[in-house]
Amino acid sequence: MRNLLVLVSVFAVGHCHLCLLSPPQRGSMSGINTPAASDCILTTDPCGGRQPGRDATFYGRGENITVTFMKNLDHFNKTNPGKFVISLSERQTVAPVVLATVPDGGEPSLHIYTVKVQAPREPPNTMHFLQVTYEPNNAQAPKAFYQCSDVGFEPRP
């Protein structure tokens, strides 16, 4: 029984996840309502290593954007809690601009967060990616998990 518990623990640690629901994440959203969904394990910066897609979500410049994401598997560190970071970057830029930070308050797996951020008022006419990063600050988990969505900004009347 002990060996089974160790095996299950190793599986859970190696398969912790963050899912970006809106704007939609790159790739599929297959099985995201199940803890440890395989489509939400991305640990390579930026964007979990996923390349830009053909579909993008467009917003008006300066518009309020609602970002919705899920902690697909919890890795709360009670001693030194982690955080979620929402950032925006041009596709060619490596240094994203932080739009919001949300503390990890120990919410359970499958918890959904909704955060309002503001689109830049004067972004260049290039495509961007919005990235959500989960930094659990937990030695039993990877350093960070990443999800991205391709976004663009256009003038609105």
User: In this structure, which amino acid lies at residue 24?
Assistant: P
Report the DSSP pairing between strands 111-118 and 128-135: unpaired
Q: Give the chain's residues under pLDDT 70.
A: 1-16, 92, 94, 123-124, 157
What pTM, to 2 d.p., does this model score? Answer: 0.86
Sheet order of strands, 97-103 included:
57-60, 145-154, 128-135, 83-90, 97-103
Give the pLDDT confidence score for residue 64 in this predicted structure: 95
- Residues 8 and 48: their CA atoms lie apart, in Å, by 24
Please give the pLDDT value at position 15.
43
The answer to whether the CB of 88 falls within 8 A of the CB of 65 is no
Instruction: State pLDDT tens for residues 87-102.
Output: 999 876 768 899 999 9
The pLDDT of residue 68 = 98
**Digit-coded pLDDT (tens) for 132-141:** 999 999 999 9
Quick one: pLDDT at residue 90? Answer: 87
Spatial separation of the C-alpha atoms in residues 73 and 75, rounded to whole Å: 7
